Structure 1
Amino acid sequence: MSESVKFYSEMERYEIINVNDGDRFNCLGNNDIIIDEDGNLKLLVLNDNKSKFGLFSKSEFVEVPWEYVKKIGSKTIIIDAEEKMLKRSR
């Protein structure tokens, strides 16, 4: 098997970082990936719960188009996206 192949079971612990503003979005396993009917990766749906009182606050989600994923490293997934380009939802 090629060394460039990464398994989701390994990547689910990778932390997601936006190099544009330094935001961190927890691990891939705590977020979602949207895949289209052809098997192409389309979106990362990131849980952006900044509150320390997670039990009482509503989660906010950030949709990151796959083209903003710049690098998948050994322990991180690097995205480069400006805040105004991201769709937020609850």
Structure 2
Amino acid sequence: MRLSELSGKEIVDARRAERLGVLGQTDLEINEQTGKIQALLIPTGKWFRLRKEGNEIRVPWKYIKKIGTDMIIIDFPE
């Protein structure tokens, strides 16, 4: 999957069973030493309890449970 294919997918929090919004343009945070994706960096808008960093929200990759054709399922702890 390409980064550009993430755009337009709905973001759903599995734990709360609620739609959180639609993913717009995103950036990836990549570990330079391992090459692994650390997090999605999403421009701020109306969001929930994710940590805000500047003008973006950081969603650690470990909380992304499934990326489907229409949505991204997140299981973010309470």
Q: For 1:48-75, what per-residue CA distance to the aligned partner results, in whole angstroms no more than 9, with x for missing partners?
A: 4229xxxxxxx86432211111001111
Whose strand proportion is higher, 1 or 2?
A: 2
Question: Unaligned regions of 5+ residues in structure 1, if any?
Answer: 1-5, 52-58, 84-90
- Given the two structures, how large is their TM-score scaled by the length of structure 2? 0.65
- List, as ranges, runs of 4+ consecutive aligned residues in structure 1 with deviation greater than 6 Å: none
SS at match of 1:20: coil
Matched residue, 1:35 = 30
User: Is residue 2:17 matched to residue 1:17?
Assistant: no
Number of residue-to-residue matches in the alignment:
70
Report the aligned-residue RMSD: 2.6
SS at match of 1:30: coil
Whose helix proportion is higher, 1 or 2?
A: 1
Tell me, in whole angstroms, the C-alpha distance in 2 between the residues paired with 1:18 and 1:47.
18
Matched residue, 1:56 = none
Distance 1:19 1:48, change over 3 A: farther
Percent of aligned pairs with the same residue? 34
- Given the two structures, how large is their TM-score scaled by the length of structure 1? 0.58
Which has more radius of gyration? 1
Tell me, in whole angstroms, the C-alpha distance in 1 between the residues paired with 2:42 and 2:13.
11
